[in-house]
Amino acid sequence: MNIRLVFLGTSAAVPTLNRGLPATILQSSTEQWIFDCGENIQRQMITTKSSFHKKTKIFLTHLHGDHVLGLPGLLQTMTLMDRREPIQVYGPLGLKNFLVNCQQTLKFELTYQVEVNEIVKSGVIVEEEKYIVEIVESNHTIESYSYVFEEKPRPGKFFPEKALALGLPEGELWSKLQKGEKVTLSNDKIVKPDDVMGPRKQGRKIVYTGDTKPFEAFTSFAKYADVIIHDCTYDDSLTEKADITGHSTPTQAAEQAKKADAKMLVLTHISARYPDANLLLERAKKIFENTILAEDLLVLELPFNDNEC
Ligand SMILES: [Zn+2]
Ligand SMILES: [Zn+2]
């Protein structure tokens, strides 16, 4: 599937002229996954031609206002647009209470079902046919999680001539093998997918840290990620402030990406004190060359990973 990453909001704590509050959306042609839900997310979704009706899952890293205050508005907008498809929302304990209180106070009904999933521990929280979503507890000032979206491996190339040589006629048996299933021939001989297909290809792996300072478990969690979207709130001269407030500097974000052997690093959650955040970018690039700075409305197309596995 083709997937793209769209940065809807890239500021920290308060919006600025050029940056909205944290929200990032990952999209395929049939489904989308929203990571954090800062205010004004709906207008950014309209600007980037994102759908309000598509199959959607929303993942919240923690319950600080800059990351969640867009959620009630987004849910309400979806109702006004007559959404019918259920939506799943994941986040720390307290999420359910937050949404129920908003709904009761603002007296809004929904035209679709919101399934709230409160997270209690690290691990895989979503497993679908083509991908998983896994979380790990991060290191912020309140309960907070980093997320990884990881595609399952794609099947390798199918070789029809090998299938024919093994006595397999074109048809249902071919598609079973292509889906990774074994098949049994009329002479009881078993044919495995590996007999007629090339090596499987690795899926893409996208990591979203949310607000955090560096933490030990991150390296294995983010290992070989195609993209790491990392907190980069303060510059290196404010390392102590970053430590106290549970955030990262460009040096720390870049070191994390390097240790994880990631392909690409995107710095986000930029403090409003940097109208020009290039100093953050330059600093990170000294340690991890393939770094970019997130900007609102930046779109990244994520090419297929051709590594074999
Ligand atoms: Zn924040
Ligand atoms: Zn926070």
Ligand 1 centroid to 203 CA: how many Å? 29
Q: Which two tokens stand for residue 137?
A: 């507890």
Ligand 1 centroid to 39 CA: how many Å? 12
> What's the CATH number where 22 sits?
3.60.15.10
Q: Is 210 left (phi over 0), alpha (psi -120 to 50) or beta?
A: left
- The answer to whether residues 115 and 213 belong to one domain is yes
- The answer to whether residues 183 and 277 belong to one domain is no
Asked, for residue 271, whether it belongs to a domain, the answer is yes
pTM above 0.85, yes or no: yes
User: Which residue, among 297, 299, 207, 305, has the nearest Cα to 253 in the 3D structure?
Assistant: 207
Q: What is residue 189's predicted lDDT score, i.e. its pLDDT?
A: 87
Q: Which residue is catalytic, options 36, 66, 211, 235? A: 66
Q: What is residue 76's predicted lDDT score, i.e. its pLDDT?
A: 97
Closest listed ligand to the CA of 141: 2
- The answer to whether residues 70 and 170 belong to one domain is no
- The answer to whether residues 181 and 254 belong to one domain is no
Asked, for residue 307, whether it belongs to a domain, the answer is no
Ligand 2 centroid to 165 CA: how many Å? 60
Residues 6+ apart with CB under 8 A from 104: none
Domain limits for position 229: 3-154+200-302
Question: DSSP secondary-structure letter at 273?
Answer: T
Asked, for residue 83, whether it belongs to a domain, the answer is yes
Closest listed ligand to the CA of 66: 1
- The answer to whether residues 244 and 257 belong to one domain is yes
- The answer to whether residues 113 and 246 belong to one domain is yes
Helices (H) and strands (E) in the chain, counts: 11, 16
Q: Phi/psi of residue 238, each to 5°?
A: -110, 30
Asked, for residue 120, whether it belongs to a domain, the answer is yes
- The answer to whether residues 54 and 113 belong to one domain is yes
Ligand 1 centroid to 36 CA: how many Å? 9
Closest listed ligand to the CA of 62: 2
Ligand 2 centroid to 12 CA: how many Å? 8
66 is catalytic: yes
Q: What is residue 281's predicted lDDT score, i.e. its pLDDT?
A: 98
Domain final residue pick, 196, 220, 246:
196
Ligand 2 centroid to 240 CA: how many Å? 16
CB 299, CB 48: distance < 8 Å:
yes
Asked, for residue 22, whether it belongs to a domain, the answer is yes
Asked, for residue 74, whether it belongs to a domain, the answer is yes
- The answer to whether residues 261 and 115 belong to one domain is yes
Asked, for residue 309, whether it belongs to a domain, the answer is no
Q: What is residue 167's predicted lDDT score, i.e. its pLDDT?
A: 87
b/e sequence 81-120, b meaning 16+ C-beta within 10 Å: eebeeebbbbbbeebeebbeebbeeeeeeeeeebebbebe
Q: What is residue 238's predicted lDDT score, i.e. its pLDDT?
A: 98
Pairing type for strands 131-137 and 145-151 reads antiparallel
Q: What is residue 187's predicted lDDT score, i.e. its pLDDT?
A: 85
Which residues partner with 124 through β-bridges? 134
Asked, for residue 76, whether it belongs to a domain, the answer is yes
Closest listed ligand to the CA of 22: 1
- CB burial of residue 46 (10 Å; 0-12, 13-18, 19+): exposed
If the chain, 309 residues long, is cut into consecutive pieces of 10 residues, what is the mean pLDDT of each piece?
A: 95 97 97 98 97 98 98 97 98 97 94 96 95 98 98 91 89 88 87 91 96 98 98 98 98 98 98 97 98 98 86
Which residues partner with 7 through β-bridges? 24
Please count the structural domains in the chain.
Answer: 2
